[in-house]
Structure 1
Amino acid sequence: MKLGSVAAIAGLFVTASAWADATATNSQPETTLIDIAGHEVPVVKGGLYDRYRSNPPLSVIAAEAPDVDLSWFKGLAKTKVDIGFESYSPNFYYRNSRVTAVYTADLAKLKELMPARVLEQVQPLQVWPGRGLVAFTAYSYHYCDNDSYNEVALSIITNKPGKSNLGPISLIGQSLSRDYWGYVLKLPVNTELARVRGVVGYNLPKWLTGIDVREDERSVAYDIVDSRTGKVDVVFKADKLADLSKDDEWVTNSFTNTDPKGELTYGYAVSRQLSHASSTDGDSARLILGDGELSAYIRALKLGKMMKYEYVPQFQSALYAPRPLNTLVGRN
């Protein structure tokens, strides 16, 4: 893992602070309060969610964002679901970008952080003795059914439920099929709408904090604020890779967890990657840690070598509502 020096961290924090001060003067969209499962949630007044509650007609999307290719979404049918509140599955993400770095981590610590019930079905993939893998992903959802927001995911890479955990062999199999499985450890977001929907509807460990994006011609950086102190805690700076592939690439990311009753569930998102590149150069992404809670949590994982970096400046996604795990693997 590339950790910055104290001077580098300080410089990035000053830059982030200056950027935040500059943007704070910009006008913010007007909001209105709506009820989601008993939570009063501010949403953009007149935004997609305010008007359509996760089910906007594609004709509206075409009119508001004529540059977005909607051909894939036209073949996907939405279904009304009860996920603690009325919603529709899948949730559509029309224009997005992400950067991901995969690191080795302490295997014993990863197992310690997973609930016992989940460990009965899936375990961290061991890439060599004592070492598992975690993925650190920063997302920008520029235009989606939930308006727009930023999100950061820290996840353990696991075997697929019902399949043997064969370590590197399982990892190669997931890579070849582009069907990845994991357990989500942390998932900060920067809108209350994303937080409430994620916690109530998808049983995900979301909390609300500042996640700001800075970019130039060469790199993109996500500044993640410590929600207690209000100061930047983690900076994820990643290169904008050249030689981007423009061929559509389909990727499925699934997660196993438990619902409020303790029952095992799984959820998944299918993504259409429109522009993408990857690298194994350890200098292509840097995770810079500060003194906050998320940094302390990441340090405890004892991150090691960065195995892979993915730069995906354009992708679309469909997120499906969680389902009971026994519908996937059968009852034990």
Structure 2
Amino acid sequence: MKSTSLTAVLGLSLALGTMPSWSADDHSAPSPVATTTIQIGAHDVPVVQGGLYDRFRSNPPLSVIAAEAPDVDLSWFKGIAKEKVDIGFESWSPNFYYENSRVTAIFTADLARLRALMPPEVLAQVQPLQVWPGRGVVALTAYAYHYCDNDSYNEIGLSVVTNQPGASNWGPLSLLGQSRAGDFWGYVLKLPVDTELARVRGVVGYNLPKWLTRIDYSEGENNVVVNIYDSETQALDVTLETRKLDVSSSKENLVTTRFTNIDPQGQLTTGYSTSRQLRHASTSAADAVKLTLTDGSLSRFIASLKLGRMVKYEYVPDFQAALYAPQPLKP
């Protein structure tokens, strides 16, 4: 399986956040900034005053991005046209993510539990891939969106790897086929974010299971540490600590990732993103990832999946993405 990204799919990232300006060399936590309130659907949402979303509503001219982030290569985005869409509110598709980082840990999990967590309507179209008897595959991904159409934010994706709708489910052979094609399918179980803008856009516009909570994504000299907090108790819930890998010899590649879910009207929908991975590396070494669970709500949910062996770890310190609005899923 090539290391492009089994899991760009598996945690799909959407909308938005905090930071009116940005430098390519500065991934530190932003200082407090002034906010203003806008309306998205029926929701009053605080956004960064003067930030990209406040000014352009997901459609900033590339000339503005070039001026604010002159070190970012925008050549890829110049070949992608945007269009105005109605996704419960007026927006533009695709959303552009200019500079981002992620780490992903892929585990085996209890197949029966994964099936039980997916709605029957979705299961009628896609099923978890069985990599060996009784075991499916899930991916836990931490995203740091440093600079995008919707400002900046952090996100955690927990997703099931599935077959393509309408296609046969041949387990590991289907997984291999998706990898060779660079075209992956998944079902998103959990997707907490740390800005209200990201939460509202994701829930209203993309039908995704988002909620607002504190997420700390920090980089040390040799590792990445992500702390996720319980939204109700504010106590530390999950810690994902991963090792930085050598990305000096990695080559740029493109990966398409897709998800299937249900909109508020009960209709099956599908969305997708394309990622341009600029620097990336992977390993199957067990000591590259340390996952620490507590008695928090997300920890208990992860524990219920009965995670097994880590199949793969992906370190992607530099990628760009275009996220497209969801469409009705054709039978």
> With structure 2 as the length reference, what TM-score do the two structures score?
0.90
Aligned match of 1:10: none
1:282 aligned to 2:286? yes
1:77 aligned to 2:81? yes
Secondary structure of residue in 2 paired with 1:208: coil
C-alpha separation in 2, matches of 1:141 and 1:149 = 5
Aligned match of 1:130: 134
Q: Deviations over 1:148-186 (max 9, x none)?
A: 000000000000112110000001111111211100000
Aligned match of 2:59: 55
Aligned match of 2:180: 176
The answer to whether the 8 A contact 1:42-1:193 is kept is yes
Percent of aligned positions that are identical: 68
Q: 1:233 aligns with which of 226, 233, 237?
A: 237
Secondary structure of residue in 2 paired with 1:241: coil
What amino acid is aligned across from residue 89 of structure 1 in structure 2? S
Q: 1:54, CA displacement in angstroms?
A: 0.2
1:193 aligned to 2:191? no
C-alpha separation in 2, matches of 1:40 and 1:246 = 43
Q: Deviations over 1:107-165 (max 9, x none)?
A: 00000000000000000000000000001000000000110000000000000112110
What amino acid is aligned across from residue 75 of structure 2 in structure 1? S
C-alpha separation in 1, matches of 2:224 and 2:246 = 13
Query: Which residues of structure 2 form unaligned runs of 5+?
Result: 1-27
Aligned match of 2:215: 211
The answer to whether the 8 A contact 2:247-2:279 is kept is no
Q: 1:214, CA displacement in angstroms?
A: 2.1
Aligned match of 1:158: 162
Aligned match of 1:37: 41
Large movers: runs of 4+ above 6 Å: none
Aligned match of 2:264: 260
Secondary structure of residue in 1 paired with 2:170: coil
Query: Which residues of structure 1 form unaligned runs of 5+?
Result: 1-22
Q: Deviations over 1:175-230 (max 9, x none)?
A: 11121110000000000000000000000000000000222111001100000110
Aligned match of 2:246: 242
Q: 1:143 aligns with which of 140, 144, 147?
A: 147
The answer to whether the 8 A contact 2:93-2:325 is kept is yes
The answer to whether the 8 A contact 2:250-2:281 is kept is no
Q: What RMSD, in angstroms, separates the aligned Cα atoms of the two structures? A: 1.2
**Highest RCO, 1 vs 2 (Cα 8 Å, sep ≥ 6):** 2
Secondary structure of residue in 2 paired with 1:188: coil
Secondary structure of residue in 2 paired with 1:189: coil
Q: 1:286, CA displacement in angstroms?
A: 1.4
Aligned match of 1:116: 120
What amino acid is aligned across from residue 29 of structure 1 in structure 2? V
Q: Deviations over 1:32-80 (max 9, x none)?
A: 0000001010000000000000000000000000001000000000000
Q: How many residues align?
A: 304
Q: 1:67 aligns with which of 67, 71, 78?
A: 71
Q: 1:29, CA displacement in angstroms?
A: 0.8
The answer to whether the 8 A contact 1:244-1:277 is kept is no
The answer to whether the 8 A contact 2:101-2:145 is kept is yes
Q: 1:242, CA displacement in angstroms?
A: 1.4
